[in-house]
Amino acid sequence: MLINPPKISKLCIGSNNNFNLIRMLCAIGVLFAHSYVLVSNRPNIKDPFQLYFNIGMGTFFVTIFFSISGFLIYRSLDRSHDLQHYVLARSKRIFPALSVVLLLTVFILGPFITELDIVTYFSTPSTWQYLLNINLLDIHTHFKLPGVFIENPHSNSVNGSLWTLPIETWMYVMTALAFCLSGLTKHYLAHWQLHIKLTSLVCFILIACLTAKHFQNTHQFEKFDMLIFICTFTVGSILYKLRYRIPVMWSIAGLLLLGIPWLKDTLAYPIYYSLTIAYSVLVIAYLPCEKTHIYNRIGDYSYGVYIYAFPIQQTLVLFIPDISFLTMFLASLSITLIFATISWHFIESPILNRRTSRKAQIK
């Protein structure tokens, strides 16, 4: 154990981190989880993540996404102090690739595999309502297209991954609001700033824990997952705010993980789980290993994998009804990686680079 372990503030300078690699592995993890859910002849295997964390595998990997977002998004806003740039950066990261996947789904995939005739397909309101998924401020995701995947085991969703994007978008909005309120309290209520922050934190913890317990008791598991996403994002943001005080140590991460079985049935678990995940992810992200940092030079394919995988998997099930779980995973991963690679190099990266170039020109 280090006598003076490095603080987060020292490590989060520069780009030598593993955030892109972690996101990519989590996107593959979600694809793996969905491969099991979507096939009809899946083996009867108990979810190890459900047994240990009391949270399903897919949800577990998405919580890691949210914890990373909480840390990096607040860091981005804190460094720029520019809400206009913040909104522009978030929009250019999310909307271009999402727009393409929605257009491909509605105008290419849908007409090709729908059981309806083309005229009926395009005259049905739900076809055009699906395009409203571009409005990420609306948490009511449109999952269905007329006549599409209706014979599949999981027939009620064309792209089941999209429902988490509005939640993350709203967390971006809340981050901006919290940042502005923090600035106002620092300027006008400096004497009471610490009290306001502590009171807000205590209220958040109490509300999160009580609400999560209610969702579990009433079997509202989707709402419980949504709350866990919010908690992990928030804790990630708080860890960045406290970066000058928090050491990065494997021993702390290990102790937090060991405490999971003892606390997973308690009222405090939502916050404890969020803290455990967010802190452990930071420890892994700043692992001093040059070999893992090489991935940063390749690109960030995680978003493409996340938004393309589900419809590709549903299509495989449609054409190969008896596809096995392992074949589904390997085939869908291979095809999805092709789409994600194209998306990064021809859609996402050029737009992000254009943003960087314009910023450089302004300076």
Least confident of 90-104, 118-132, 195-209, 329-343: 195-209
pLDDT tens digits for range 227-257:
999 999 999 999 998 888 888 889 999 999 9
Q: Is pLDDT at 363 greater than 80 in this prediction?
A: no
Contacts of 330 (CB under 8 A, 6+ apart): none
- 289: nearest Cα among 17, 29, 3, 15: 17
Q: Is 64's pLDDT higher than 90?
A: yes
Question: Can you read off the two tokens belonging to residue 174?
Answer: 């809340």
The winner for highest mean pLDDT among 12-16, 155-159, 204-208, 353-357 is: 155-159
What's the confidence (pLDDT) of residue 345? 94
Q: What average pLDDT does the structure give for the chain?
A: 88
Residue 359 above 60 pLDDT? no
Please, what's the b/e burial string for 217-254 (b: 16 or more CB within 10 A of its CB; e: otherwise)? eeeeeeebbbbbbbbbbbbbbbbbbebeebebeeebbe
Task: Tally Cβ neighbours within 10 Å of residue 273.
Answer: 25
Question: Which of these, 361, 298, 274, lies nearest to 54 by C-alpha position?
Answer: 274
Could you give phi then psi for residue 7, rounded to 5 degrees? -90, 160
Residue bearing the bigger pLDDT, 201 or 66: 66
pLDDT at 10: 58
Q: Give the whole-angstrom CA distance, residue 157 versus residue 149.
A: 8
Tokens 């140590």 identify what position? Answer: 249
Query: What's the rounded mean pLDDT across residues 259-267?
Result: 91
- In this structure, of 9-23, 30-44, 159-173, 274-288, the range with the lowest mean pLDDT score is 9-23
pLDDT band at 360; cut points 50, 70, 90: very low
- Identify the pLDDT of residue 190: 63
Name the H helices within 81-109: 83-104
pLDDT band at 324 (very low <50, low <70, confident <90, very high): very high
pLDDT, tens only, 1-51: 444 666 666 566 556 788 999 999 999 999 999 999 999 888 888 899 999
Residue 351 is predicted with a pLDDT of: 92
On whether the CB atoms of residues 79 and 54 are closer than 8 A, the answer is no
pLDDT of residue 221: 86
**pLDDT in the model for residue 188:** 64
Statement: residue 223 has pLDDT above 50: yes
Least-confidence region, from 220-224, 296-300, 322-326: 296-300
How confident is the model at residue 167, as a pLDDT? 96
- In this predicted model, which residue has the larger pLDDT, 210 or 310? 310
Burial classification of residue 88, based on how many CB atoms lie within 10 Å of its CB (0-12 exposed, 13-18 middle, 19 or more buried): middle
Residue 333's CB is within 10 A of a number of other CB atoms, namely: 19
